Amino acid sequence: MKKFLVFGLIVLLFAQIAVARPYRVRVFLDSPAAAQRVTDSGLGLFSDNVAIPVTDLIVEPRQFPELWALRVPYQVIQLLPPNDAWKYEGLSDSDEYQSQYLRYENIIAKYDAWMSENPDLITKIQIGTTIQNRPIYAYRIFKNYRFDQVSPPRNAVFFCGIHAREWISPSVGMYVMDMLIQDLRNPSSQMHQKLADKCAVSIIPSLNPDGYVYTWDSVRLWRKNRRPNGGSSYGVDLNRNWPTGWNTGGGSSGNTNSETYRGPSPASERETQAARDYALSLQKVVAFIDFHSYGEYILWPWAYTNTVAAGASWLHTYGLQMQAAIAGVHGHTYTEGQAYQVLYEADGTTKDYFYSQFNAAAYTIELRDTGDYGFLLPEAQIFATQQEGYAGAKALLAAVVP
C-alpha cells in the first residue's frame, strides 16, 4: 500500500513538472527601489504595470528563487492554467473575427480578402521581416476621387499587437479596417466626408508576429518579441525600443530577461525599424494610435518624462473627445491623461516617438478590461471592445482632419 502511495506521489510530482503551471503571485512594494527590482527581474507581469504598493506577477515554479531574491512580501493568488492550455479549438480556422480571436495567418488572410474585395481602397505593403522570417505588413486604406492626387495630404497610423499577449489589439485593428471600408463605401457617412481625398489610414495588423504566434503555440502570456538574447533569454519589449527617450528615465530595463527589456540600442529591433521606416515614408503623419490592453486608458505623451508636452492642451482636448466617444458606446469611461502621470513612467515608447518625430496626435489606448480578466479577455467581450476601439479611432480622425 505504502509503495503505491510513494509511486503515486512520484507520478504526481512528474505531472506537476511536465505541466509546470505558472502562479499568479501578488507582491507588496513599499519603495521605488523595490519596484525597480521587480522591473529588472525576469518574472512575468500579470498586472498591466509594476506599481507601488501592489503588483501581480506570473511566476513559473522554477522561478521561485528569483521571487525570493526580490526580498518583498508576497502572496500566491491563484494557479494559472498551463501555458499550452490557451489554444482555441474549433472555430480557429474560420474568419469570423468578432466573436473569437484569430491566429496570425488568419488575421492576414482576412485583410487580404478585404483588399481583394476593395482594390480601389486598400493597398498592402510589406514593411519588414521578423527575426523568425515572418513578414510584417501594413494595410493602407484611402478613398481617392481625384486621380491627379497621387498621395493623400495626411496619414493616420495605427499599430496593433506590439505586445504579443494582448490579443484584443489585433482584433480591434481588424474591426477598424472593416468599418473604415464600410464608411468609405458610404458617401453619407461622417468618416467618408472626413477622409475621402484627405487622409489615408495605415493599420499594422500585428507588429509582433513572432511573439503573437508564440502566445498561441507555447506561452500564452508572452509579451516581447522573440529575439534571442543569448543563453536562454529571449525577447525585447517593442514598446521600450523606440528612440525617443530611450533609456533616459525609468520604466525600462537593461536585463535581457526583463519583461520591459529595452534592447541593446534604440530601434535595435526589426519590428521597430520596419514600422519607423514605414511611418517616415509617409508624407505627413497627423494621428497615431498604438492599441494595447488592458486597463481602459487613453494615454498621450510624454511617457518618458513628467514634463508636460508642448502640445498638451490639444492632446488633452482630443483625448477627451475620444473618451466621450468610447463612453458613448457601452458606458465605459476610459481614464484619459498624460501617460507618465495617469499610468506610469516608460521610456522608448511608440507614442513619444510619433509625437516628437511628426508632431502627431499620438496615443496609446489600453483596451478592456480593468483587471478582472486582464490579458485573457473573454471572447464574449471582443465585439464590445472592437466597437469602443473604433469609436476612439473615429473621434481622433474627426479631430485631426479639418
Instruction: Identify whether 294 is preceded by a cis peptide bond (ω within 30 of 0).
Output: yes
* Residue 259 site contact among Zn ion, ligand 0X9, none (CB < 5 to 8 Å, cut-off depends on kind): none
> Considering the complex, what minimum distance in angstroms separates the CB of residue 246 from Zn ion?
17
- Indicate the residue among 141 and 346 with the shorter CB distance to ligand 0X9: 346
Nearer to Zn ion by C-beta: 152 or 263? 263
Cα–Cα dist 170/177, whole Å:
11
How many DSSP H helices and E strands does the chain contain? 12, 14
Among Zn ion, ligand 0X9, none, partner that 48 touches (CB below 5 to 8 angstroms by kind): ligand 0X9
Phi, psi values for residue 62, rounded to 5°: -70, -15
Q: How does DSSP assign 297-310, residue by residue? A: EEEES-SS-SSPPT
CA distance 91 to 161: 21
Give me the sign of the Cα torsion angle 208, 212, 214, 220.
positive
Rounded to a whole number of angstroms, the minimum distance from the CB of residue 358 to ligand 0X9 is 18
Q: Which does 127 bind (CB under 5 to 8 A by kind): ligand 0X9, Zn ion, none?
A: none
The CB-of-290 to Zn ion minimum distance in angstroms stands at: 8
**Residue 87 Cβ vs Zn ion, minimum distance, rounded to whole Å:** 22
Rank residues 152 and 211 by Cβ distance to Zn ion and give the closer one.
211
83 binds, among ligand 0X9, Zn ion, none (CB under 5 to 8 A by kind): none
Residue 162 near residue 238 (C-beta atoms within 8 A): yes
Least distance between Zn ion and beta carbon 387 (Å): 20
Q: Which residues are catalytic?
A: 366
Q: Which does 364 bind (CB under 5 to 8 A by kind): Zn ion, ligand 0X9, none?
A: ligand 0X9
| Binding region for ligand 0X9 (CB under 6 A) | 48-49, 163, 166, 239, 292, 299, 303, 339, 343-344, 346, 349, 364, 366
CA-to-CA dists, residue 145 to 149, 194, 200, angstroms: 9, 13, 13
Say which entry of ligand 0X9, Zn ion, none residue 343 contacts (CB below 5 to 8 A, set by partner kind). ligand 0X9
Grid coordinates belonging to 122: 486598400
Closer residue to ligand 0X9, CB minimum distance, 200 or 393: 393
Q: Whose Cβ is closer to ligand 0X9: residue 152's or residue 301's?
A: 301
User: Which amino acid type is present at position 173?
Assistant: G
- Cβ of residue 242: shortest distance to Zn ion, in angstroms? 13
Of 154 and 262, nearer to ligand 0X9 (C-beta) is 262
- Residues at the interface with Zn ion (CB under 5 A): 163, 166, 292
Q: Which of 223, 239, 237 is nearest to 290 (CA)?
A: 239
321-331 burial code (b ≥16 CB/10 A, e <16): bbbebbeebee
- Measure Cα distances from 67 to 28, 72, 148 in Å: 12, 8, 62
What residue number has its CB nearest to ligand 0X9? 346
Which is nearest to 204 in space by CA: 307, 264, 134? 134
